Amino acid sequence: MSDNNDLRDTSTASEDRAGGVYVDTQAVDDVRDAVAAHNAYAVEKTLDDLDPADAADVVEQLSANETQAAARLAPEAFGGDVLAELSDDALEDVVESLNPQQVADAITDMELDDAVQLVEELDEQFRVGVLAKLAPDVRASLESSLKFEEDSAGRLMQREFVTAPQFWTVGQLVDHVRLADEDNLPDVFYEVYVVDPAFHPVGTVAVSTLLRAGRDTALSTLMSTLRAVVTPQMDQEDVAYLFEKYDLPSAPVVDVEGRLTGMIMVDDIVEVLHEEHTEDMLALAGVNEAGLADTIMETVRSRAPWLAINLGTAILASIVIAMFSTVISKIVALAVLAPIVASMGGNAGTQGLAVAVRAIASRDITSSNVRRIILREISAGLINGLIFAVIMGPIAYFWFHSLPLAMVIGAAMLINLLIAGLAGILVPLGLKQFGADPAVASSVFVTTATDVIGFFVFLGLATLVLL
Amino acid sequence: MSDNNDLRDTSTASEDRAGGVYVDTQAVDDVRDAVAAHNAYAVEKTLDDLDPADAADVVEQLSANETQAAARLAPEAFGGDVLAELSDDALEDVVESLNPQQVADAITDMELDDAVQLVEELDEQFRVGVLAKLAPDVRASLESSLKFEEDSAGRLMQREFVTAPQFWTVGQLVDHVRLADEDNLPDVFYEVYVVDPAFHPVGTVAVSTLLRAGRDTALSTLMSTLRAVVTPQMDQEDVAYLFEKYDLPSAPVVDVEGRLTGMIMVDDIVEVLHEEHTEDMLALAGVNEAGLADTIMETVRSRAPWLAINLGTAILASIVIAMFSTVISKIVALAVLAPIVASMGGNAGTQGLAVAVRAIASRDITSSNVRRIILREISAGLINGLIFAVIMGPIAYFWFHSLPLAMVIGAAMLINLLIAGLAGILVPLGLKQFGADPAVASSVFVTTATDVIGFFVFLGLATLVLL
């Protein structure tokens, strides 16, 4: 009977887990009600009953005020396991409501890389207070990680990893791992790094390979060559690229002398890929940063700067239009049609831009093919220009019964889509060349170019031909 | 002396690997030259000397024609290890140039999930020829994977995994793994799934935990609860979400009866995340699909459809402008200023849209917070509208010396940024509701709304106030 129950419990649990794709909105409501009722026990119980990752999802659903209230009410519900899973902005809200001792306790339970992410969110003074409450060894590893730049491999790496000299057998390695102090071993590891006498990594052995091999097998016969080595200064995007390219479960981090100093695990890279995805999408659309718990004013602040820049470029385009006031006042059709030329250019430019930004991020554009890619973008722009010139010309003709006007808009369309093709590839490549992130500012430059040139070419040609 | 050499070789190799962030353009040039000289040996030698992932990078740098020529010339250089690393479009170019036997040989060397990706690229007739050349067991697993929809978990999963009943000890499991037929074990695995008598997964044990434990330890004492279970029908995006949320190294796939039927590994998920990132960026910009080796005509075809849709919406906006021809012919300043209102609206709408698309993808918007998020977006739109009304009004006043005109553009800016805020959140949520991908079509709807309404409000108010 109890066996039967066990089975049923298990299968229900499995179904619940498969439902992990969606947030448990019942739990969100429960926490919200508990916070409103100042019921600390209910907050803690609801969150504790969930998998830490699910509890973090629930917390992320709350507004900043609710999160702060929940953390003040039931600090015990926000242990290291939950904090490690929280998004940066929810994390900030929680730690603001905890005291230094509570934050220090949470950090002690966390993996180093998660702890670093938490400490990054603390303001200077609070950080000093938290660090003072930590055990000296934990503080030391945290401080050494924080010496590396944000978004660098140094911040992602953990200090625990398993190494073995080349001349060991499987049996020697297994005994070493069993006897090692728990604190010096990672909780989970997928590979053992084989090192030479100077502590340079020379190869890896998958843990599953070790499991399969007999105790007397020499490690050197099981070892795979290193596919990638990371340095602490590397940008996390470059590290993610290596993981993706070489299908790595983990990567060794080496210091300037090539000595093994850390390990980065693939689950941290999955996190990085998610972050980079969001950053790129927001950058393309001109948003500085966005969190779900952002207040209205934070939302305004994240968007207004790019809107201000857009206003500047829109005014620039308007100045171009104003240069042609005379011809517009005589032929109003020009005011009607000009935005079509600009809009098509902006659209085509953004298309090329998005393709280029992804190709640059995937290291797909190199000196070997850059000429071919640029030529392709220009040619595609020219052909699309021809296509839409041939479509738009007749539309303008039947609308305004003017052959010269039809020819002017056709020519302007052709030229602006060509410019769009050029700008869509050259702007991101140029920004990359100057060390800027092509995802961030390209959009503004490209649409400014297509707006200004689109209006200028169309209205300029109209002045020449129609006046 | 030889020891010394070993050391130096190692450190050079490490540095080269750290350089794996960049494509080996020398090798690209070498392959290109070898293809031009019809030198099969040089093509094969250059690619074979590289890590398969680096060889794939090199091939991806070639144009479609060069890739096809290289594959025809040196088919042996395109074994399963290289094909598994190629992007879809480069893969297509290669397999088009191989014969069914060569493709079948490559498939035999590949993991099932990689083989599925390859077979997906083959056209119907060629696929039949390739399948006929495969060993019956390989063909059977391929065919059963292909029964699942594209981009589903069923296509991603592998059929080999390691299981153990709950009552086993570590020693029993290790012996089982050592004695098992190599063909029935995955090359690498990070977890063992503990199953009940009905073959339902009930827990996992990390392989590194097994390594640390004594032979007599009961698996049940080492087992962690399952954090996620996948079904073959799940969309790969949902699977990726589970991996990210629960930091999974692998996930069990279960059939309708809850029985273990496959395993998905995290490195496949890293690939999925990369694909989804590209798809989202291209969708936001209105590009159907893009590959580096795309020809000019493929590039045109991937972009022209969205440009055509954009032309339609731009004409719609122009029809609105045409409705106000009379007032524009009297006050040309309206033609100068109207695009500013439309442009600001389009920009603000795209900002909100990008934030919403990412929040939806991250399951951050749920019934628990959707009202707060919508309210925030509308409020932020209103505040940004106020800010830019206050900035643009005076600019228009000093430019055209008309207080009514300044007030009209201020009011139009306020209204259009409010509309942008509304459209930026409601359009993607609405598309999601109807089962559409919010990343794909949102952009068109949002900018159409802000263009049409921007022109209508600005020119309409101007007609009322200024005439």
Q: Secondary structure of A8-31 in the HEC alphabet? A: HHHHHHHHHHHHHHCCCHHHHHHH
Taking 50 as the pLDDT cut, the residues of chain B under it are: 1-18
Q: Is B287 helix (H, G, I), strand (E, B) or coil?
A: coil
Nearest CA to CA, how far is A404 from chain B (Å)?
19
B66-71 long-range contacts (CB < 8 A, ≥24 apart) are: B66/B31, B66/B32, B66/B35, B67/B93, B67/B94, B67/B97, B67/B293, B68/B93, B68/B94, B68/B96, B68/B97, B69/B35, B69/B97, B70/B31, B70/B34, B70/B35, B70/B43, B71/B95, B71/B96, B71/B97, B71/B98
Q: Which of B310, B316, B444, B451 to mutate to test the interface with A (most CBs of A within 10 A)?
A: B310
Q: Which of B158, B271, B277, B416 to mutate to test the interface with A (most CBs of A within 10 A)?
A: B277
Q: Is B191 helix (H, G, I), strand (E, B) or coil?
A: strand
Residue type, A223: M
Q: With beta carbons under 8 A apart, name residues in chain B contacting A231.
A: 18
* Domains parsed from chain B with CATH numbers: 20-147 (1.25.60.10), 163-284 (3.10.580.10), 296-466 (1.10.357.20)
Q: With beta carbons under 8 A apart, name residues in chain A contacting B209.
A: 188
Q: What is the pLDDT of residues A294-324, one digit of tens each?
A: 888 889 999 999 999 999 999 999 999 999 9
Residue type, B423: A
The dihedrals phi and psi of B49, each to the nearest 5 degrees, come to -70, -15
Measured between CA atoms, the residue of chain B closest to residue A56 is B245
pLDDT at A16: 41
The alpha-helical segments, DSSP class H, found in B133-215 are: 136-146, 153-156, 170-179, 207-212
ipTM above 0.85, yes or no: yes
Q: Which of B46, B117, B172, B188 to mutate to test the interface with A (most CBs of A within 10 A)?
A: B188
Q: With beta carbons under 8 A apart, name residues in chain A contacting B238.
A: 21
Q: Is B227 helix (H, G, I), strand (E, B) or coil?
A: coil
The dihedrals phi and psi of A413, each to the nearest 5 degrees, come to -60, -50
Interchain pair A22, B230: CB under 8 A: no
Query: Strand pairing of A201-206 and A191-195?
Result: antiparallel
Q: What is the pLDDT of residues B47-100, one digit of tens each?
A: 999 999 999 999 999 888 899 999 999 999 999 999 999 988 889 889 989 999
Measured between CA atoms, the residue of chain B closest to residue A319 is B336
Q: Is B157 helix (H, G, I), strand (E, B) or coil?
A: coil
Interchain pair A314, B85: CB under 8 A: no
Q: Which of A32, A238, A245 to mutate to test the interface with B (most CBs of B within 10 A)?
A: A245
Q: Hey, what are A7's tokens?
A: 């089975």
pLDDT at B17: 41
Pick B368's closest partner by Cβ from A29, A246, A339.
A29
- The owner of tokens 């397999």 is B95
Q: Hey, what are B139's tokens?
A: 């063909």
Q: Hey, what are B257's tokens?
A: 């009866």
pLDDT at A254: 96
Which among B234, B153, B165 has a CA at the least distance from the CA of B200? Answer: B165
**DSSP sequence for A223-264:** PEEP---B-TTSBHHHHHHHHHHHT-SEEEEE-TTS-EEEEE
Are the C-beta atoms of B332 and A459 separated by less than 8 Å? no
Q: How far is the C-alpha of B401 from the C-alpha of A423, rounded, in Å?
A: 36
pLDDT at A20: 67
Q: Is residue B163 within a helix (H) or strand (E), and if so which, with residue range?
A: strand B163-165
Q: Is the pLDDT of residue A192 over 80?
A: yes
Measured between CA atoms, the residue of chain B closest to residue A239 is B21
Pick B286's closest partner by Cβ from A292, A347, A392.
A347
pLDDT at A12: 36
**DSSP sequence for B352-368:** HHHHHHHHHHTT---TT
Pick B211's closest partner by Cβ from A177, A276, A296.
A177
pLDDT at A19: 52
Q: What is the pLDDT of residues A93-105, one digit of tens each?
A: 899 899 999 999 9
Q: How far is the C-alpha of A413 from the C-alpha of A419, rounded, in Å?
A: 10
Q: What is the pLDDT of residues B196-220, one digit of tens each?
A: 999 999 999 999 999 999 899 999 9
pLDDT at B427: 96
Are the C-beta atoms of A171 and A215 separated by less than 8 Å? yes
Q: How far is the C-alpha of A59 from the C-alpha of A95, rounded, in Å?
A: 13
Q: With beta carbons under 8 A apart, name residues in chain B contacting A395.
A: 315
Pick B348's closest partner by Cβ from A297, A303, A325.
A303
**DSSP sequence for A282-300:** HHHHT-S---TT--HHHHH
The pLDDT confidence band at residue A379, using thresholds 50, 70 and 90, is very high
Are the C-beta atoms of A390 and A381 separated by less than 8 Å? no
Say how many CB pairs under 8 Å bridge A and B. 421
Are the C-beta atoms of B377 and B349 separated by less than 8 Å? no
Interchain pair A246, B51: CB under 8 A: yes
Pick A10's closest partner by Cβ from B196, B282, B379.
B196
The dihedrals phi and psi of A194, each to the nearest 5 degrees, come to -90, 130
Going A359 to B245 to A163 to A145, the CA torsion angle's sign is positive
Which among B3, B125, B443 has a CA at the least distance from the CA of A167? Answer: B3
pLDDT at B362: 87
Report how far apart, in Å, the C-alpha atoms of A174 and of each of A182, A190, A216, A250, A359 are. 14, 14, 11, 20, 44
Task: Specify burial of residue B292 (Cβ count, 10 A radius: 0-12, 13-18, 19+).
Answer: buried
Nearest CA to CA, how far is A61 from chain B (Å)?
6
pLDDT at A17: 41
Q: Hey, what are A455's tokens?
A: 């209006």
Report how far apart, in Å, the C-alpha atoms of A173 and of each of A164, A168, A214, B366 are. 7, 7, 12, 49
Q: What is the DSSP letter of A190?
A: S
Measured between CA atoms, the residue of chain A closest to residue B30 is A368
Residue type, B171: G
Q: Is the pLDDT of residue A437 over 60?
A: yes
Measured between CA atoms, the residue of chain A closest to residue B161 is A208
Interchain pair A337, B318: CB under 8 A: yes
Interchain pair B336, A329: CB under 8 A: no
Interchain pair B363, A57: CB under 8 A: yes
